[in-house]
Amino acid sequence: MNIFKHISTARTALLILLFGFAVSGCSANWGWYVVSPSTEQGRINLGFLLGGLKYTLALSITAIAISVVVGLLIALPGLSEKRPVRAINRVYVELVRAVPILVLILWVYYGLPQIADISISVFWAGVIALALSDSAFQAEIFRAGIQSIDKGQHEAAQSISLNYTDTMRYVILPQALRRILPPLGNQLVYMLKMSSLVSVIGMQELTRRANELVVTEYRPLEVYTILVLEYLVLILIVSAGVRWLERRLRSDERQ
């Protein structure tokens, strides 16, 4: 129930702020009427801005899902006792983290089609770039989480004849996931914010739509203020959901 309270609070705060903008729209120095729900044009503009929300969510959720899987696969070599195998993890993490995410987005969208001779959409270019960049951070999160599990858990699994795959699946990863949930939630928030960079290649998400509306309405302060509020409400809801899941997992663990 707490998460729904957070959602309701965020929605109420947004409506109050929008009402304040509408009231202040009579001032000659402000143009809140362009995003005011009390005017027809304002409602149209708000609908246009909010229309980018589904693309932001689809982009971020798809990218985070892929990055979690890739990050886990990259983290496992980092746990090996063999130095050449650990080098796979280290080289991947260092190389990917060294590339700015904006540069990576541009390279995937403009460079990858030429190298691989493929056609790639704006959406999947954004997903690949975001997932690739985030996977390096996910790999370090998983590696640290798995290493935090007591060695006695590995020994207990071996004592009942579990192989490496089953040990990870049934013993180590369930415990590690509880510990790494907070940083995983932080990465989801980070992904939601970084998705705004995909606007540079034409993705019709929140930031791109705000930029287009600024060009037509010539009211950057008002439009970008609404953009800030959109991200604020979205992040608050996601953060509340992550905290709720953390409490739920802790309560299940105590039972």
Considering the domain 53-203 in this protein, what is its CATH number?
1.10.3720.10
What's 76's DSSP letter?
G
Give me the pLDDT at residue 15, please: 57
pLDDT of res. 16: 56
Enumerate the domain spans of the chain.
Answer: 1-51+216-255, 53-203
Global pTM reads 0.82
3-state DSSP assignment of residue 134:
helix
pLDDT, position 255? 56
Q: Where are the alpha helices (DSSP H) in the chain?
A: 2-24, 40-50, 53-75, 83-98, 101-106, 112-116, 122-147, 151-159, 164-166, 173-194, 206-217, 220-254
The whole-number mean pLDDT for each consecutive block of 10 residues of the chain, a chain of 255 residues, reads 52 56 52 85 91 93 95 90 89 93 95 89 95 94 88 80 80 84 88 93 92 90 91 91 81 60
User: In this predicted structure, what is the pLDDT of residue 156?
Assistant: 81
Task: Give the closest residue to 46 by CA, choosing from 157, 195, 209, 163.
Answer: 209
